[in-house]
Every structure is written in structure tokens, then in C-alpha cells.
Amino acid sequence: MVSFIHTADLHLGLRVTRFNADTLKKIREARFQALQSIRAVVGEQRVDFVLIAGDLFDDHAVDRDIAQRAYDLLRSFPVPVYVLSGNHDPLLSGSVWDRPPWNGADSGRLVLLRESEPIEVVPGAVVLPCPVLRKTCMTDPTAWIAQQAVDRGPIRIGLAHGSLRTRDDLPADDHLIARHAAHDLQLDYLALGHWHRRQLFAGPDGAERTAYSGVHEPMRFPGSRENRTGWVAYTGSNREEFLDGGKGEVLHITIERPGAPPQIQALDVGYLTWEEQSRRLTAAGDLGQLIDETAVRPSPERCLLRLALSGTLDAQTRRRVRELRQVLDLYLFADLDATALHIQPTEEEILSVAGEGVLRRVLTRLREEIDQGEPAARQVAERAMLLLYEIAEEVRA
């Protein structure tokens, strides 16, 4: 039996930009805190080794401190760690892999897999690594495995970084991997990196032997195709494959014997949570409930929240949005969009802001139009009255 952790796409030194400096620092630091969580999981699960399926670093421009810190942390794991290059950190001349300390990571507890050749990781199990040599490539990185004589003695684990050919419209230069590579190459498991959401794929025999582990720490707001962070994947920022689920996790893999289907368990290791919510409010109780929910959420200092409000409230209730903003100040990052949340003022509220001048006369004329006008005119008048009231409220505030 063999037991190991499969992770990928750690993107240490992540180059997000669309936050203030303090938030950016905490987002980047969270990637190391999640890596420490992986180390704790390794000890708890008593695994034999760890596989990192590419993109340990966001790019080769990471500074020496990040490179050294990653090296030291991975060497502190209680089991061997095997690192594969990815399309963000390919094995290029002069890359981070050619500089200290990584130019010495070839043996012992931390191994950079530079060659396409089998490596025995524990007695009875071999890893067949597929190092990435450039950002883009037209050939299947796993193709070399087909040239190797198949020895059914050990458990065979493939390790690659690229796009599984699950549909026809994938970019041709995105390190495309045959859909049934695990089956065709007689692998017991194919550990993949590159796509950012956990995905498992069954082979012709129905066994799930191919998997993407997803990210160990989220990188963007889940489900949002818009570039809200400033980070862009090299092969297309809007592709669904690079939309993570808003949480960090790794896969714990157990294989009893050669040919046995792998047992795959997802384990949470992420530090920050990224959430995007939309709430429609139509009554005072709706807003009060939202404020209460937001106030009691655990660990708000570790949450990035984008919250969009819509609906219509009376003026007094609408003012409580200020309370919600105060609660959101407790969060690591919070973006509140209340532009679609409107006020439905009472007659008394309208008169209270109108005064005795021009605004009052305009509002009175709009009220007459609402009461007597055609349906289309009434709709325009209602909208105009609401906008005038909101403007008057803002000026008075």
C-alpha cells in the first residue's frame, strides 16, 4: 500500500494587484500559512510522500526570500516532497530552479523532478514525472511514458501539469494530455496540476485514476470570470478551469496494490475564504438578518467578501446599511455594492426632505403624475421621485 498527498498550483509569490498594500501582503502570506497546514496534514495522515504537480511559484521573478522560505518550509516536512515544474515556473535556463537554494534540490527530503524518468519514491511505488520545460507546448507531456517498458510490479503514479483533453476547444499549446492517459499508460493514478478546481475523472473501467487537486489556497472570488484581483493565468483568465471554488484543499491518495482503484479524499488546508454574495432585501427584517449574519461569521479577519444588495426598503431601514458597513470593517477585505438597493419613502419622509422650495414643488408635480398619468409616465415619475429623494437624503446626511 502507498499513501501520499497530491497538491498543485500553490503559486507562491502570487501577483494579485487590485487590493490595498496591507491586504495584498496578507493574501500572499496566506499561501505560506496554507502550506504549513499541508505540513500538519502530512503528519496527521502519516503519508509516505508529497507530490506537487507544478506551479509551486507564480513565476520566475519571485524574490530570493520567497524562494528560500518555500525551500526551507518544504524541507521541514516529515516525509519526502517531490516538486514538478509547471507552466508558470517551467524548467528554463536562469529560472528560479537554477538559483540557490533550488539548484540543490535534487535529492534527500526535497526533490525537484528535472528529468522524464521513473523514480522510486518508496519500495513498491514509482513516480513517472513529466517536467514542464516551457510556458506553452503542443505535445502531450505524458507521451514519454508510453516508451517505457511496463513493469506491473510497483504501483505506477504519473505526475504532470497541463490540460486534460476533455473537450475540443482547449488551446492546442496548453500541454494537452490524452483524456484516458492513466488507462492507456497503465497508471494506477495520474496526479495533475494546472486546473484550479478539484476534479476527478473516471477511466474506461469506471475507476477514478486521474485527478486535479485544485488549489491549496484560493486565488479569486469563486465563480467570477471577471478579473477582480489582477492575477491572470498564462493561458486565459476567463477559462472555467482556472476558477477555483473559494477554498483551499489537497488530495490524500491511498492505493492498496497495483491495479487497485485509488481511494481519494479531499482535505481542507486553506487559510482565507473568498466569497461573493447577492442579497435581495424587501423588508426591515431582511437587512437586520443580514447584519446579524455578517457580524457573527467566524474569523472575518480571514475572509474576503464581495456583497451586492438589491431591492427596495423604506428610508429609515435603508439608513441601517451604515451599520452593515461598520460590521464589514472587521473583514480582511469587503466590497459592498448597494447601488441596486433603493428607497421607497413614505409621504412623510418625502415631505421631510423636500422643504418649502423648488424641490417640494418638483416632488408635488411628480406625485400628481404618479396619481394621474399614463402607466409609462407613472413609472418614469416614480423613478424620478425616488432619485430626487435619495439625492436629498445624501445631501442632508
Query: Which domain CATH number covers 234?
Result: 3.60.21.10
Q: Are residues 143 and 172 in the same domain?
A: yes
Instruction: Give 74: exposed, middle or buried? Use CB within 10 Å, 0-12, 13-18, 19+.
Output: buried
Number of domains in the chain: 2
Q: Which domain holds residue 320?
A: 273-396
Q: Are residues 251 and 364 in the same domain?
A: no
pLDDT in tens, 351-364: 676 666 777 788 77
Q: Are residues 385 and 294 in the same domain?
A: yes
Q: Looking at 268, 289, 307, which one is the last position of a domain?
A: 268
The reply to whether omega before 78 is within 30° of 0 (cis) is no
**Confidence band (pLDDT; 50, 70, 90) for 240?**
confident
The bridge status of strand 303-313 relative to strand 333-343 is parallel
- In this prediction, residue 227 carries a pLDDT of 61
- In this prediction, residue 234 carries a pLDDT of 73
- In this prediction, residue 236 carries a pLDDT of 61
pLDDT of 237 > 60? The answer is: no
Q: Which of residues 148 and 281 earns the better pLDDT score?
A: 281
Q: Looking at 237, 252, 268, which one is the last position of a domain?
A: 268
User: What mean pLDDT, rounded, does the chain reach?
Assistant: 90
- In this prediction, residue 395 carries a pLDDT of 67
pLDDT in tens, 263-317: 999 999 999 999 999 999 988 899 999 999 999 999 999 999 999 999 988 877 8
- In this prediction, residue 396 carries a pLDDT of 66
For the chain, how many residues are written?
A: 397
Q: Looking at 213, 237, 268, which one is the last position of a domain?
A: 268
Q: Are residues 315 and 286 in the same domain?
A: yes
Q: Are residues 193 and 296 in the same domain?
A: no
Question: How far is the C-alpha of 24 from the C-alpha of 26, rounded, in Å?
Answer: 5
pLDDT of 105 > 80? The answer is: no
Q: Which of residues 53 and 381 earns the better pLDDT score?
A: 53
- In this prediction, residue 166 carries a pLDDT of 95
